[in-house]
Amino acid sequence: MREDDERTAAQVQRLLLSEHGISACKGLVLKVRRALGWQWQRAKFSPMTREVNKQKRVTHAKLWLETGENFHHMLFTDESTISLVRFNTMAFRKKKDTCLLSRSQNNPVKIHVWGGISKFGPGPLVLFEGIMDAAFFKEHIVTNALVPYLKQVYPDRCCVMMDNDPKHSCAAPFMASNGVNWLRTPPESPDMNPVEMVWAHLKGYLKRVHKPTNKAELIDGILKFWRDFLTIKICCDTIDHIKKVLPVVIERNGAATNM
């Protein structure tokens, strides 16, 4: 199984017979495989981490652990894209009812979201369509959303976690002149940014609870999630999850943790 983790019970059965002369029924193969701890499950996506960035991840993780970082003065930010799609492919039906699934749109409605969370709860949120370039980022994110939030919630000091996106680098002098202390997220490190988990919560909420059917309902669902569902406790728990990730980053020498 370690040589080929997709090998079926029938294939194992034939292999035992051809290479070892052992005749075993398919039921016995299944039973033994379960007893050995092998389970058939969906594979999880594992982001690739280039060697050049693994050491950067380890260095960052060690710094946060050694300094006892509690993340009280950090605003974690990120952006994502939410598509209007039919999520559920299974549902309860009466025996004689036909379960029909409408075909996905070729070009589904998409809403881009930029947002941040801190130990104070959900932070600024910006919804937009189209491409976010440096000019859009400066005006709509930094000037209209980020700076007012920081002045209200963090009048003394705050580090704003962002990735190394080129538009962020282009806007670095502008952010500095507006009092935004930009702390770069380690490259290729979604597991070290808690907002990634918030996006997963958001998509789950839209899928299971809000179930939007058009653009207006999709926007309403995103805003409702941010306003009513994303509590201070969820934000704090999500941020504190980083403390579990850091030792694993070091243990794996910077490789992805899938956490």
Against a cut of 0.85, is the pTM above it?
A: no
Rounded to whole angstroms, the Cα distance separating 131 from 180 reads 23
CA-to-CA distance for 116 and 79, rounded, in angstroms?
A: 9
**Can you tell me the mean pLDDT for 107-133?**
94
Domains of the chain: 1-43 (no CATH), 51-91+105-251 (3.30.420.10)
pLDDT at residue 206 tops 70: yes
Contact, 114 vs 132, CB < 8 A?
Answer: yes
Q: pLDDT tens digits, residue range 66-76? A: 999 999 999 99
The string of pLDDT tens digits covering residues 136-167 is 999 999 999 999 999 999 998 899 999 989 99
DSSP state of 192: G
Residue 89 has pLDDT above 80, yes or no: no
pLDDT of residue 43: 58
